[in-house]
A = this chain, B = another copy of it.
Amino acid sequence: MEFSSKLLENAVNEISQLPGIGKRTALRLALFLLRKPEENTTELTDALRKMRNEIKFCKNCHNISDSDVCEICLSSNRNHEIVCVVEDVRDVMAIENTAQFKGIYHVLGGKISPMDGIGPNDLNIDSLVEKAKFGTVKEIVFALSSTMEGDTTNFYIFKQIEPYNIVTTTIARGIAVGDELEFADEITLGRSILNRIPFENSLKI
* Residues of chain A whose beta carbon lies under 8 Å from any beta carbon of chain B: 1-8, 10-11, 13-15, 17-21, 25, 27-34, 38, 40-55, 63-66, 70-72, 88-90, 92-93, 96-97
- Asked whether, in the complex, the Cβ of B45 is within 8 Å of the Cβ of A48, the reply is yes
- Asked whether, in the complex, the Cβ of B5 is within 8 Å of the Cβ of A72, the reply is no
- Asked whether, in the complex, the Cβ of A11 is within 8 Å of the Cβ of B48, the reply is yes
Q: A5-B64, A38-B53 are in contact. Are A33 and B48 (CB under 8 A)?
A: yes
Q: How many copies does the complex hold?
A: 2
Which residues of B are found within 8 Å of A11, using beta-carbon distances? 47-48, 50-51
Would you list the 7 A-B pairs with minimal beta carbon distance, nearest first? A45-B45, A41-B52, A11-B51, A14-B47, A7-B51, A14-B44, A11-B47
- Asked whether, in the complex, the Cβ of A4 is within 8 Å of the Cβ of B49, the reply is no
Q: What's the Cα separation between A19 and B5 when bound, in Å?
A: 22
- Asked whether, in the complex, the Cβ of B18 is within 8 Å of the Cβ of A29, the reply is yes
